[in-house]
Amino acid sequence: MPDPARPRAADPLRDCLPRAGELRWIGLRPARDVPMREVAAAAATAGAGLDGDRYAGGSGRRGVTLIQAEHLPAIAALAGQAQLAPARLRRNLVVAGIPLLALLGRRFRIGEVLLEGTLPCDPCARMEAALGPGGYNAMLGMGGLCARVLEPGVLRVGDPVQPA
């Protein structure tokens, strides 16, 4: 796992992304054990996370959680479901068109907000309840990315996602 305190060395293969991505969905969970609330925009606070989300103000490394839109159909299929609403996976942002794990250990922008990919966002035991038996394993390897907010701003559905 990359050390977020050290800048990542240049790597021609990892630095070459085919195109920018797009923010497709935003969800906030205001308190523990309540459903995610879908929103069209959310304010991001540096070092804290998304305003209105229960994890805002924590350590910052998990200030924002992201999942790749292209993985939703695969997770649904592995969980034996026809489709899957993003809110069930407990991630704040759904992005499309850019490989999220390529952003691990690097800075990237979503619209005006500067983030840094800090950790893989592995599934947790709650996926068994959210997706049914085997839900944890259905998400394994496709849980997404955790990020910290470095520069604040407002995230909006439709914003571009690209390396900084």
Give me the pLDDT at residue 125, please.
85
Show me where the domains of the chain are located.
20-163
> What parts of the chain have a pLDDT lower than 70?
1-10, 57-61
Dump strand ranges (E) for 13-152: 21-28, 37-39, 41-45, 49-50, 64-68, 93-96, 107-110, 113-120, 145-151
Give me the pLDDT at residue 63, please.
87
pTM of the entire structure? 0.88
Structural fold of domain 20-163 = M1 Pyruvate Kinase; Domain 3 (2.40.33)
